[in-house]
Amino acid sequence: MYMTDKKTITIALAGNPNSGKTTIFNNITGSRQKIGNWPGVTVEKKEGLITRFGYDLKIVDLPGTYSLTPFSIEEIVARNFVLEESPDVVIDIIDSSNLERSLYLATQLREIDGKVLFVLNMADVARSHGTKIDAEKLSSLLDVPVVFTVGNKNEGMDDLLKEAIKLAESGPVKKEKRNVKYSKDIENAIVRIEKLIAEKVKDKIKYNPRWTAIKLLEDDKILKERFALIAKNVGPDIIDEVQLLRKNLLNLYDEDPEIVMTDERYGFITGIIKEIQTTSPKLRVDISRNIDLVLTNRFIGFPIFIFFIWAMFQLTFTVGAYPMDLIDKGVSLLSLGFERLLPESIFKDLLVNGIIAGVGSVIVFLPNILILFFCIALFEDTGYMARAAFLMDKIMHLIGLHGKSFIPMLMGFGCNVPAIMAARTLESEKDRILTILITPFMSCSAKLPVYIVLAGTFFAAKAGNVIFSLYLLGIILSIISGRLFRLTLLKGADAPFVMELPPYRMPMLKSLTIHMWDRSKMFLKKMGKVILIGSIVVWFLSSFPRNITYSKDYTLMLNNINESFKEKIVSADENDKYLLNEQKLAAIADIEKKMSLEKTEQSFMGIIGKGLSPAFKPLGIDWRGSVSLLTGVFAKEIVVSTLGVLYSTEISDDKTALANALRSSGMTPLSALSMMVFVLLYLPCLATITTIKKETASFKWTFFSITYSTVVAWMMSFIVYQGGKLLGF
């Protein structure tokens, strides 16, 4: 067996997008990383530390990449890790059903000084297509160990780890490797550059000389810049010689050297495939192709996509209403229990009207969040997410982008933070910035509680359709804004891109559940951090100063009501006593409501709200709505939390209390719709703003995003409210 004393071995998992790399990473480490089924699922490297077979294994899941010539940020991350951090073993996850594409990266990894293990994943898919692969012959041809796995069935994981450990503990890599052999003129150019490297910068560069020579001939921009810095102290001879050799090859082949070398690499790969792969007639009909005849049809594909999105929100609202009702009753009972148990004090006020009212008003929406994330996970894991991007490709071209840009935007339905980070998968800097600027218009899950409260209160049975229309409005405005930016701030030609459509796969319930729960945990963590703190701050601002001057002597008015009804109740018969007592309680409640409103209006929160009120009055939003929108800058869920706190003294113990309080405050369906539109579009939350700054590395673009989104939000809400009034709503 293996050594028992713990030694740490670093293993990097590399491979194409959709090769099953992240699934294998999760199988090995137990890590709860998101498993997707479209290009770019892994943007940053993920690590997991496990102990197996007497070793500590540090497993690094690298971003998916098609080659070691990087175009996107994720590909740069992958190559830099392999080259600069020198892992003990690089495991290349190969899609057995798509050998030609996968072996392109595999042959490049083979050219680097390092230990490489090939993993033929999705072996079951290849077999179902009638394909047999001779792993021993592949190992012999490229002098690389090879193992089979079926990632989604957790098969072959132990074999993979054992082989990786064995490879890590083996001797140095052979210097004479079975690499791609190019035509004579290209090989001569490679040898010439290798010789110059050995003579002039051998001790200054740690990359494999042959690999370096190949990349310089291919005009790899990043390596060229890095190499120029290394070689500058020994004169420009090498770079000049490379340019001369490239020019000679261009004249000889009438093609750029990188194109010729790519063709010859694929020729080498074709030869390998002929040796190792045998294909019999397909054992089954190509199900993915048949499904795509419907789902990506040029006429009905887009309506089907819109239907799926509509169904997702109908499901979120209607099915989520039942568990939401149970949680709401639980929160009401908890609030009532503390109300009766604790004596009157500031602590009781904080707990009941601050923490429980604030956090409780948001946590009731957990079922809706779970359903939304389950649907998004279903789109990703089945392979439909890539089809959605494909369907949106023509529309995205209207704003100078392509379908791949729509993937981060779709991710925005869950959370804008990872959605903006996913823009790293785009090769063009202008495309990345453009996608980042329009992604916040995609309505994230944090805004869903606001929609459910307002749409559920004022639109009842049509709430699902109203919420769907808001999401659709966000998509439309993002496209219009993108077109505007492309014509003005971010001019540029369309970036060419071929969208990969992975085969449809049966989703794994475990994967769907993990994905759904991991995303929802973020929502729950907010309960214990941002929402809790926000609720306490809102309670403080709405409860202080404590000593205020009322416009009327409410104490005297309450005493008069008690005295007035006291005499009537004493002289009344039993039937009338009940009615009189109800009238008394209603009169007292009305006075207390007026007291509460005056108290809140004279609080710090009221002062802030009255200051904001002129800006929001044309939108039909009162001062309490204005304050809620302000607190929503920290996290959009706090909008509901703030409403819960501000209306807490008007809320009774049933689930319709907040809805009744909103109606009695003077809010109308039109003003509620205006507020929902504003929430949809106005400046992102702090976490998203921070991410925009990080991803653009620019205060200018961050400030522009904040300003532009807020201006658009105000204008659209103004149009909705004032236009609705003109139309008689």
Residue ranges of the binding site for GTP? 15-22, 40-44, 61-64, 121-124
Query: ∠30-35-37 over CA atoms, to 5°?
Result: 150
* Residues facing 89 on adjacent strands: 11
* Residues facing 46 on adjacent strands: 61
CB 660 within 8 A of CB 669: no
User: What values do phi and psi take at 435, rounded to 5?
Assistant: -65, -40
Concatenated DSSP letters for 480-522?
Answer: HHHHHHHHTTS--PPPP-----PPP-PPPHHHHHHHHHHHHHH
CA distance 619 to 642: 19
Q: Both tokens of residue 228?
A: 């120029």
- Half-sphere exposure at residue 34, Cβ-oriented, CA atoms within 13 angstroms: 27
The DSSP letter of residue 205 is: -
Kindly state the helix (H) or strand (E) to which residue 41 belongs, with its residue range.
Answer: none
Cis peptide bond upstream of 343, omega within 30: no
Name the 3-class secondary structure at 544. coil
Between the alpha carbon of residue 35 and those of residues 61, 509, 521, the distances in Å are 12, 12, 16
Between the alpha carbon of residue 218 and those of residues 69, 81, 170, 179, 227, the distances in Å are 9, 21, 33, 16, 14
CA distance 182 to 107: 13
Length of the chain: 729
CA distance 693 to 695: 6
Our measurement of the distance from residue 445's CA atom to the centroid of its chain's CA atoms, rounded to an integer in Å, reads 11
CA distance 402 to 391: 10
Q: Both tokens of residue 331?
A: 């929160």
CB 47 within 8 A of CB 59: yes
Q: Give the contacts of 460 (CB within 8 A, at least 6 positions apart).
A: none
Q: Both tokens of residue 703?
A: 């400030």
Detail the residues annotated as belonging to a binding site: 15-22, 26, 29-30, 40-44, 61-64, 121-124
Between the alpha carbon of residue 383 and those of residues 178, 288, 405, the distances in Å are 36, 10, 16
User: What values do phi and psi take at 323, rounded to 5?
Assistant: -65, -30
Q: Both tokens of residue 78?
A: 């992958």
Detail the residues annotated as belonging to a binding site for Mg(2+): 26, 29-30
Considering only CA atoms, which of 409, 402, 359 is closest in space to residue 538?
359
CA distance 8 to 50: 10
* Residues facing 8 on adjacent strands: 56
The DSSP letter of residue 170 is: S
The DSSP letter of residue 343 is: P
Our measurement of the distance from residue 223's CA atom to the centroid of its chain's CA atoms, rounded to an integer in Å, reads 31
User: What values do phi and psi take at 121, rounded to 5?
Assistant: -90, 170
